[in-house]
Amino acid sequence: MKPTVRLRAATYAAAMIFAGLAAQPAAAAPERPECIAPAKPGGGFDLTCKIAQGGLQEGKYLNGAMRTVYMPGGIGAVAYNTIIAQRPAEAGTIVAFSGGSLLNIAQGKFGRYTESDVRWVSGIGTDYGAVVVRKDAPWKDLKGLMAAIKADPTKVVFGAGGTIGSQDWMKAALTARAAGIDYKTMRFVAFEGGGETLTALQGGHVQVYSGDAGEVASVLDAGVPIRILAVFSEQRLPGRLADVPTAKEQGFDIQWPIIRGFYVGPKVADADYQWWVVTFDKMMATPEFAKLREERGLFPFNKTGKDLDGYIKQQVAEYRKLADEFGLVRK
């Protein structure tokens, strides 16, 4: 075959492939969109679904209103297992996840399923860990607190809304380790949530709250007398907490992002999966969504599709390493 003929044949073949792809119908918006919140009403998973409901408006992005379905159990484990095993191909169902979900996967708390068993769609925002003390506490910065912990770990009690192995416990354990003490000697009291922990902090029952920056910022706005010594972010946070230094600035390389987002089942068709990815990209590029995210106390985290998938797999690998170091991995 002459070169010119080969070129024409190749061009024709490429054109046919393109035409075939173009002929495939694009996925339409789901008829009955739903968001599964893997918990009871209220709390972070419910908040995540409400952000999707508020951002993906009916008539603009969706053909019908998105409903929230509550599926509590195992801090996301029941929903994760249900979607994979029983509802793997539901194109209209997105499931909320958080950094806590990823930490639990890393610890083996989701059973035999791993981070590779669902299709990660979109992150919609993030919070960050924060070290909080009473406003009249003797420590003015993180260095002062670290020195006190190292001098006598028994006199500095951490409190947070989570048991051993939870995100809040991990933040406290990382702080203790950065202070140069064995995390097993750390005094830690688990509470039902952030509100109860803050009450204990105000009452002097604990000295340090390993909380979340966004949540604490709203408490500051309400006039509660507390001081944020550091945030566990790579760079200083915008807005209300711009004056709070990072732990890294103060000589302690502790970072703890608390992302929120969505995944779909492993057998959802590529076209339907891409519809969600593209739709979230469009929504998150709008000023309306930026305002909605800020009102919910979250900071920007606009990763979708392959970008999000890569981030999550890297994050779970890091969590798995940490969990192993702290003796938390289920064998």
- Count the neighbouring beta carbons within 10 Å of the beta carbon of residue 291: 10
3-state secondary structure of 34: strand
Q: What is the sign, positive or negative, of the torsion defined by CA atoms of 107, 110, 116, 119? A: negative
**Percentage of the chain lying above the pLDDT 70 cut:** 92
pLDDT given at position 21? 38
Q: How far is residue 123's CA from residue 134's CA, in Å, rounded to a whole number?
A: 33
CATH number at residue 158: 3.40.190.10
- 239 and 272 co-located in one domain: no
Looking at the DSSP bridge assignments, the partners of residue 287 are none
Number of domains in the chain: 2
- Give yes or no for a contact between 134 and 202, defined as CB atoms under 8 angstroms apart: yes
Q: Tell me, what's the pLDDT at 124?
A: 96
Kindly tell me if the per-residue pLDDT of 222 is higher than 90: no
Same domain, 84 and 198: no
Confidence category of residue 63, pLDDT binned at 50, 70, 90: confident
pLDDT digits (tens, 9 = 90+) for 230-261: 999 999 998 889 999 999 999 999 999 999 99
Burial 201-220, CB ≥16 within 10 A → b, else e: beeeebbbbbbbbbbbbebb
Give the pLDDT confidence score for residue 210 in this predicted structure. Answer: 92
**Residue 154 has which token pair?**
């028994």
Cβ count within 10 A of residue 221 = 9
Percentage of the chain exceeding pLDDT 90: 69
Q: Which of 250, 245, 225 is nearest to 235 (CA)?
A: 245
* Domain co-membership, 146 together with 224: yes
Round to whole Å and give the CA distance between 69 and 185: 41
Report, in angstroms and rounded to the nearest whole number, the Rg of the chain calculated over CA atoms: 23
Predicted local distance difference test score (pLDDT) of residue 11: 45
CATH (domain of 115): 3.40.190.150
Mean pLDDT for the chain overall: 89
Q: Looking at residue 259, what is its pLDDT?
A: 95
- Cα–Cα distance, 209 to 200 (Å, whole number): 9
Q: How far is CA 287 from the centre of its chain?
A: 21
More confident residue, 294 or 263: 263
Indicate whether 27 belongs to any domain.
no
Q: Which residue matches tokens 């600035």?
A: 249
Last residue of a domain, one of 199, 225, 250: 250
- Identify whether 164 is part of a domain: yes
- For residue 331, tell me if it sits in a domain: no
Q: Does residue 19 register a pLDDT over 70?
A: no
Of the candidates 169, 187, 158, 101, the one whose C-alpha atom is nearest the C-alpha of residue 327 is 169
Range of the domain at 101: 34-126+258-325
Looking at the fold, whether 279 and 289 belong to one and the same domain comes out as yes
In this prediction the pTM is: 0.83
User: Per-residue pLDDT tens for 71-92?
Assistant: 998 878 999 999 999 999 999 9
Together in a domain, 53 and 99: yes
Do 156 and 172 share a domain, yes or no? yes
The token pair at 78 is 């029941």
3-state secondary structure of 83: helix
Reply yes or no on whether the pLDDT at 9 is more than 90: no
Task: Give yes or no for a contact between 61 and 53, defined as CB atoms under 8 angstroms apart.
Answer: no
Least-confidence region, from 7-21, 246-260, 310-324: 7-21
Q: Classify residue 17: in a domain, yes or no.
A: no
pLDDT for 26: 58
- Per the CB < 8 A criterion, the answer to whether 108 and 277 are in contact is no
For residue 53 the two structure tokens come to: 């409901």
Element at 127 (helix H, strand E): strand 119-134
Q: Do residues 158 and 172 lie in contact, with contact meaning Cβ atoms separated by under 8 Å?
A: yes
